[in-house]
Amino acid sequence: METRYLTIRREAPDEEIMQIAAALLREGRLVAFPTETVYGLGANGLDCAAVKAIYLAKGRPSDNPLILHIAKPEDAARLAREINANARALMAAFWPGPLTLVLPRRDSVPDAVTGGLDSVAIRLPNCPVARRLIELAGVPIAAPSANTSGRPSPTTAQAVIDDLAGRIDAVLDGGPCGIGLESTVVDCTTPVPTILRPGGITREQLEAVLGEVEIDAALTQPKETPRSPGMKYKHYAPKAPLFLFEGEAEATAAALLAEVKAALGRGEKVGALVDETTALLLPQETVTVCYGPRGDIKAAAARLYTALRSFDRQAVAVIYATGVAEDGLGLALMNRLRKASGYQIRCIKGGVDHG
């Protein structure tokens, strides 16, 4: 199949192009499109065959459920059989935006979307292209990230093409995504809402509205089985092994530098993903990708996935990365980095390596 490449202005999407893309979706075809988080691979969420085609194109395990994207808040009631007070408060505060709510499903939602669960995940995105596309399609749009399963999510149309060219019907190129990490997934079926996946809406923002939120145990203890099926799979991984260094910035930078030098000494092609201050310390032959200024978590989040993909293109043998503080968007960024590392983490405290 030939993948159509359609360029679109993100803030003022061309109606004719949007109509073409919406018609493809209504016909049961696959269209990748930008959102404020990452690029999504869309299909008609009420069409079983179209939803199954998403799993096939991505190579996604069939028990990993999909998020349904809607164009207006009222559409949630057609998919969820109950929307409780917590869910309503979150919708009012954060929709449209990077927040996905897990709610009890209606029978009309296909099993192919929910992976057979009794709940459904719903999001109202903020990106004008995404919203107009969903509105014109006239159906909820199932849309996981538009990458091959297990790979870093795409934040540009080119990254979508790199993974899925020839496997999907079209991609709408609306430029790079602003946030660069996926939506926060919150389970609203528990008495205290539970974060299943940290993302674009922070824990602090959720707490300001709800008073209290829980964090799924699997997010802090990787051996726990997560309640969000998607979190158990290998994710966001570049091709080379990635080692993550966590801890106080100066000590971490020193430990990473020692590791980089040792690997270069063994003749390896070494990648480093670090802040600008640490980058200045590294030997010139290091393939260095910068997050941006130390402490600027927003910039780091927006660059993470393109950075991981650039290491693939440069065919490095090993990647060493520093972490960030875990407040705000840092919780989501660290979650992605830890998964990308396959939990190969070195905790550096005050210059002492704690393994």
Binding residues (CB under 6 A) for ligand AMP: these are 64-65, 67, 102, 114, 117, 119-121, 144-145, 182, 185, 196-197, 228-231
Q: For residues 23 and 192, which CB has a smaller minimum distance to ligand AMP in the complex?
A: 192
Helix (H, G, I), strand (E, B) or coil at 24: helix
d(CA 326, CA 280): 24
Q: For residues 64 and 190, which CB has a smaller minimum distance to ligand AMP in the complex?
A: 64
Question: Would you tell me the crossing angle of helices 330-340 and 297-314 to the nearest 10 degrees?
Answer: 20
- Look-up of token digits 């164009």: 71
Shortest separation between residue 104's beta carbon and ligand AMP, angstroms: 10
Shortest separation between residue 12's beta carbon and Mg ion, angstroms: 28
Q: For residues 117 and 345, which CB has a smaller minimum distance to ligand AMP in the complex?
A: 117
Q: For residues 147 and 205, which CB has a smaller minimum distance to Mg ion in the complex?
A: 147
Contact at 8 Å (CB) between 304 and 332? no
Position 257: which residue type? L
Work out the burial of residue 313: count CB atoms within 10 Å of its CB; fewer than 13 is exposed, 13-18 middle, 19 or more buried: exposed
Shortest separation between residue 340's beta carbon and ligand AMP, angstroms: 14
Q: Is 228 in the site for Mg ion (CB under 5 A)?
A: no
By residue count, the chain amounts to: 355
Shortest separation between residue 144's beta carbon and Mg ion, angstroms: 5
What does 10 interact with, of ligand AMP, Mg ion, none (CB < 5 to 8 A by kind)?
none
Question: Residue 16 is inside which H or E element, if any?
Answer: helix 15-26
d(CA 132, CA 174): 13
What does 35 interact with, of Mg ion, ligand AMP, none (CB < 5 to 8 A by kind)?
none
Among positions 126-155, residues that touch Mg ion (CB under 5 A) are 145
What does 114 interact with, of Mg ion, ligand AMP, none (CB < 5 to 8 A by kind)?
ligand AMP
**Cα-based torsion angle of the residue sequence 232, 186, 94, 338 in order, rounded to the nearest 10 degrees:** -30
* Residue 48: both structure tokens together: 């079983």
* Footprint of Mg ion (CB under 5 A): 145
